[in-house]
Amino acid sequence: MTNSTKNRIKDRIFNFIGIFATLIGIIILGFFIGSILYDGLTRIDWDFLNSLPSRKAEKAGILTAWSGSLWIVIFTFLVVVPLGIAAGIYLEEYGDKSKLSSLLEVNISNLAGVPSVIYGLLGLEIFVRLMNLGSSILAGSFTLALLVLPIIIVATREALKAVPPSIRAASYGLGATKWQTVWYQILPAAGGGILTGVILAISRAVGETAPLIVIGALAYVPFTPSSPMDEFTVLPIQIFNWISRPQHEFTINAAAAIIILLIITFIMNGIAVYFRNKWQKKINW
């Protein structure tokens, strides 16, 4: 065999290895999801979604868990979306070359790399204890809001950056102030990109477990929350709790709850990808 045919064969082999590597993770995940569906799908029914937790696996449901997750998501959203977009606008549109701006930038990249349990410790000391919120929905939402804040800031900045400078020039040229330009032209043009970031951030918040455990969210909450100061549990904590039980029935409950959690996660990510594609097409004017 000549050297060049050998090389060509190697090239072909790597082609297969590449496809294999790309798909292996997805295939394993698919296999896993299949086995979870097999375990948990039959467990999902109206009662499962609408029952309080119980010591008996067959009677236990995820009502408190999903309603807790819903409360947490709503309050996290209310806090982090205005905060993150405002901070993103400041850094991209107002930030100059001052010390503050570069400090903010370095700081945000660092925050994005801080492990989520650490945010839990922050929330535990500051929100739960110092601000005396207890292990409430509000404390949980604040904690998660800080955790996903960098995601929204970064997405906002990327989206603003993609808006062509000619739009700014046109607006300023007509006598618009900086804020008018941002509010009427730049933000709407960047909307799709920001929306994508927001959905991804919220999807992340839905799936977070560790920081909420650390701030003292309970595994067993026998009531649905009725105010932001109530104690709570969330879907991932409920899952964690069921996984930790040795009985097989609870494992099935865990599988069923995982199906629900994955559906939520996949729908949100799907929507995010959809908006991103749509927006990327639009931004190329």
Per CB under 8 A, does 247 bind other proteins? no
Q: Which is nearer to other proteins, 107 or 247 (CB)?
A: 107
Per CB under 8 A, does 177 bind other proteins? yes
Give the residue among 112, 67, 64 at the shortest CA–CA distance from 220.
64
Per CB under 8 A, does 44 bind other proteins? no
Per CB under 8 A, does 282 bind other proteins? yes
Per CB under 8 A, does 269 bind other proteins? yes
| Identity of the amino acid at 82 | P
| Other CB atoms within 10 A of residue 270 CB | 12
Quickly tell me which residue has 């207890």 as its tokens: 134
Give the residue among 221, 256, 261, 262 at the shortest CA–CA distance from 58.
256
**Binding span for other proteins by CB under 8 A among 52-60, 70-78, 225-233, 257-265:** 257-265
**Binding span for other proteins by CB under 8 A among 42-50, 55-63, 66-74, 179-187:** 179-187
Distance between CA atoms of 185 and 193, rounded to whole angstroms? 14
Give the residue among 144, 108, 139 at the shortest CA–CA distance from 126.
139
Per CB under 8 A, does 62 bind other proteins? no
Encoding tokens for residue 101? 């701006």
Per CB under 8 A, does 263 bind other proteins? no
Per CB under 8 A, does 15 bind other proteins? yes
Given 124, 138, 144, 154, the residue binding other proteins (CB under 8 A): 124
Per CB under 8 A, does 138 bind other proteins? no
Give the residue among 69, 50, 68, 72 at the shortest CA–CA distance from 59.
50
Distance between CA atoms of 258 and 20, rounded to whole angstroms? 27
Q: Which is nearer to other proteins, 183 or 226 (CB)?
A: 183
Per CB under 8 A, does 42 bind other proteins? no
Distance between CA atoms of 79 and 142, rounded to whole angstroms? 7
- Min CB(273)–other proteins separation in Å: 5
Given 37, 49, 70, 167, the residue binding other proteins (CB under 8 A): 167
Given 133, 139, 146, 202, the residue binding other proteins (CB under 8 A): 146
Given 106, 131, 263, 267, the residue binding other proteins (CB under 8 A): 106
CB 234 within 8 A of CB 68: yes
- Min CB(260)–other proteins separation in Å: 11
Per CB under 8 A, does 176 bind other proteins? yes
Residues in 213-232 at the binding interface with other proteins, rule: CB under 8 A: 213-216, 219
Size of the site for other proteins (CB under 8 A): 106
Distance between CA atoms of 159 and 66, rounded to whole angstroms? 32
Per CB under 8 A, does 122 bind other proteins? yes
Q: What does each C-alpha distance from 78 to 72, 149, 185, 199, 225 come to in angstroms? A: 10, 12, 23, 13, 18
